[in-house]
Amino acid sequence: AFNPPSRSICRCVKMLVEAGKPLLILGGGGYNPADAARCWLQVVATAMGEYPRTKLPRFVPEHRFFPRYAPDFSLQTPECLVDDMNTQSYLERLWEHLNVVLSNIPLPHERPPAMGSRLRDA
């Protein structure tokens, strides 16, 4: 199973941001829309460099879907009691692969100029 708490996902996002490469964050919603919203708030704040530096509110503000955040109305996603089936060697291989993929992404200043800019400069 793969059901990490939001703080673990945010640590991964922080590491990717610190790699200094272009980053596009996409994701699904999961089975619980309230948990997905909680998690994405923290992920976006992390990607922007605001979390955990800026303290997010502890509780969900009242709004139309407020009852879905019961019973504690907290912005923290609850820990799941699913066993982690990932082995250390699998995680190490995954990390090595991620580093290879990231190293092959050119930095913005390494990219050739767009065709339109070449035409304007001529």
**pLDDT value of residue 96:** 93
**pLDDT value of residue 89:** 94
* 56-96 per-position pLDDT tens digit: 777 888 889 888 888 888 877 766 666 778 889 998 999 89
Cα separation, 56 vs 61, whole angstroms:
11
Which residues partner with 74 through β-bridges? 59
* 96-119 per-position pLDDT tens digit: 998 898 888 776 666 555 555 544
User: pTM for the full model?
Assistant: 0.61
Tell me what the mean pLDDT of segment 9-19 comes to.
89
List Cα–Cα distances, 67 to 33, 60, 63, 75, in angstroms.
12, 10, 9, 13
Q: Which residue has the tokens 């503000």?
A: 61
